[in-house]
Amino acid sequence: MKKSLVYKILEKHLISGVLIPGNEIAIKIDQTLTQDATGTMAYLQFESIGIDRVKTELSVSYIDHNTLQVGFENADDHRYLQSVAAKFGVYFSRPGNGICHQVHLERFGVPGKTLLGSDSHTPTGGGIGMIAIGAGGLDVAVAMGGGPFYLVTPRIVKTMLAGKLPPMVSAKDIILELLRRLSVKGGVGKIFEYCGEGVQTLTVPERATITNMGAELGATTSIFPSDKVTKQFLKAQNRVQQWKKFQADPDAAYDEEIIIDLNELEPLIARPHQPDNVCKVKEIAGLKINQVNIGSCTNSSYMDLERVAAILRGKTIHPEVSCTISPGSKQVFEMIAKSGALKDLIAAGCRILESACGPCIGMGMAPSSAGISIRTFNRNFEGRSGTRDAGLYLASPEVAAACALKGVVTDPRSLNETIEIPTPKRFILNDNMIVTPPEDGNKIDIIRGPNIKPLPEFRPLPNKIEAKVILKTKDNITTDHIMPAGAKILPLRSNIPAISQHVFEVIDVTFPLRMKEAGGGVVIGGENYGQGSSREHAALAPKYLGLTAVITKSFARIHFANLINFGILPLTFTNPEDYNKIEQEDLFIIENVRDILQNKKQLIARIPAKNLEIPLVYKLSDRQVKIILAGGLLNYTRESSQL
């Protein structure tokens, strides 16, 4: 059978299962990445497994999220991460070296390899031809220990790119167009494989912008072929020896097909508060803005910033706009300094931030009250910026630069400029901020600050669940709603007792207290529950508070897996209309849970006060059932000797 690129790579890494959509498979992981907001917990989990050395081909620990050091917590986590990396054989990317996805693309990504990262935007690696998947930190810890990664075989979407982008229309507009068509849940259970003549017109960084933000579709990942463009990029990074050609067979079979005519695209923008709330820039042109933020793992490459500098050269940022630039990596920073682009940005009035995630995750640069912020980022969830009533708009670097100049939403085509930035033949290479681990880490002492608390111990699932509905939520509840990020909360990622006091505070600040008073409980959700980040804290912290089960209309992929990993039962309604019959504070009773799961029987929840019986669905593999019964993946891994 003619094979897609995805199936070719998955077949080479298949450990168990059959590549049929809907079937659970296990694949070998070649590389892993972590970042400091998720990495501390991931390495605490790796330590608890009891393995002396990582067993992957390559693992890298990045510092890029918690770089705003207003107390000792972040700095202590960084010391822990550097010491644990040295002990267990992990490369360590120091603070200031750049955003994990940008640096990994530049210095470590290899076509045809598998990459698992404790960050939902790990699919950025698909821009260089990898199967790159975001997951919870515990899944990454197991993979570092040599364990397989389990996933449901996705449907493969052939995404045909025809034609060529017009001037001032960018790769960001391609993924915004997909989000406009498909929504934030349109990619659940799917991998988007790009092909067609338009692919050859896109550089690797442009491809990476698309695969990065494919995460907002809910997709498992996205991938471009490894071709002559990929080879050129790797050659410019002095890594051409790692290039291999990977592409689909002609007439390969796919489950779905989408065609995007690049010639017809216009500059697009995502309005608050979801990445799929997309319209044409010209439809809201003239809207007054207060802030522009250019950077993030989506749009902080050398080519992106050169285009911005070209638009701003010789001009001045609007006096009522604050404009920031976050270079994606030290390499990007050095190159725009050498080319003169950095001088142009500074002269125009841009505020230059460090090479880190920064404003994208609420680490500084919160907008003013009710401020309008134009961002080249990937998410615009309510409250994510640090300002609850701010309006966040997602757009390309070209749109952002035009808006910064005019002080209002502006279609960059109105500037009447044509900008051509050639791909560098050689990137500046200086890996002095990447620490190579010693061959023997036995003598390395792990450094732990006082904010780093031991992993909570969780008990096996009881045979009877009797708990109140502590919270009922709507559709598209994100992990930012469940476990917020930002400068105040991110430093607590290694302290579960402390961070658990912030669970659901965006929706209901009383949630932790009410969970404590009730002795635990369940949560009811709508469609696409757990959308967004891979942060396992959105499962781990609620579990610590006593969350037993989450019952929804549907789940986002990574959060569903994270709930299982921490022994929380993820259930869906057999009849979605039953959602309307449940109210907050209702008492739920589910009898014989363990027996039902083990014997694959129908699960019924009772609400005695309403004389209701509600049938529920558990979409769990036999392996996932065992994990739930054991009280989580760590317990299961220890008990079953999976590594």
Would you say the C-alpha torsion 421, 425, 430, 433 has a positive or negative sign? positive
CA nearest 618: which of 585, 570, 583? 570
The answer to whether 509 and 456 have CB atoms below 8 angstroms apart is no
180 catalytic per annotation: no
End-to-end CA distance of the chain: give it in Å, rounded: 34
Omega of the bond leading into 559 within 30 degrees of 0 (cis): no
Q: Give dist(CA 357, CA 361) in Å, integer.
A: 7
The answer to whether 552 and 575 have CB atoms below 8 angstroms apart is no
Burial of 439 (0-12, 13-18, 19+ CB in 10 A): exposed
Count other Cβ atoms within 10 Å, centred on residue 201: 15
- Active-site residue identified among 535, 537, 557, 559: 535
379 catalytic per annotation: yes
- Active-site residue identified among 180, 375, 379, 481: 379
The answer to whether 333 and 355 have CB atoms below 8 angstroms apart is yes
Structure token digits, residue 612: 């209701």
Q: At residue 127, what are phi and psi to the nearest 5 degrees?
A: -70, -20
SS3 content of the chain, % helix, strand, coil (to 5): 35, 20, 45
119 catalytic per annotation: yes
- Active-site residue identified among 500, 533, 534, 554: 533
DSSP-derived letter for residue 124 is G
Q: At residue 603, what are phi and psi to the nearest 5 degrees?
A: -105, 130
The answer to whether 150 and 180 have CB atoms below 8 angstroms apart is no
DSSP-derived letter for residue 98 is B
- Active-site residue identified among 64, 76, 411, 480: 64
What is the greatest pairwise CA distance in the chain?
A: 72
Q: Give dist(CA 316, CA 35) in Å, integer.
A: 35
CA nearest 372: which of 330, 336, 322, 331? 322
Count other Cβ atoms within 10 Å, centred on residue 601: 10
535 catalytic per annotation: yes
Structure token digits, residue 397: 């670097």
- Active-site residue identified among 30, 59, 61, 65: 65
CA nearest 482: which of 555, 426, 418? 555
Q: At residue 403, what are phi and psi to the nearest 5 degrees?
A: -65, -40
- Active-site residue identified among 36, 76, 119, 276: 119
Q: Give dist(CA 368, CA 52) in Å, integer.
A: 48
Q: Give dist(CA 633, CA 46) in Å, integer.
A: 12
Q: Give dist(CA 319, CA 405) in Å, integer.
A: 9
Beta strands 268-270; 278-280: pairing state: antiparallel
- Angle CA 70–121–277, to nearest 5: 95
Q: Give dist(CA 290, CA 114) in Å, integer.
A: 41
CA nearest 540: which of 432, 430, 634, 440? 634
Q: Give dist(CA 286, CA 284) in Å, integer.
A: 6
Amino acid at 237: Q
Burial of 70 (0-12, 13-18, 19+ CB in 10 A): exposed
CA nearest 208: which of 175, 165, 237, 183? 175
Q: Give dist(CA 554, CA 577) in Å, integer.
A: 13
Q: Give dist(CA 12, CA 189) in Å, integer.
A: 21
Residues catalogued as catalytic: 64-65, 119, 379, 533, 535
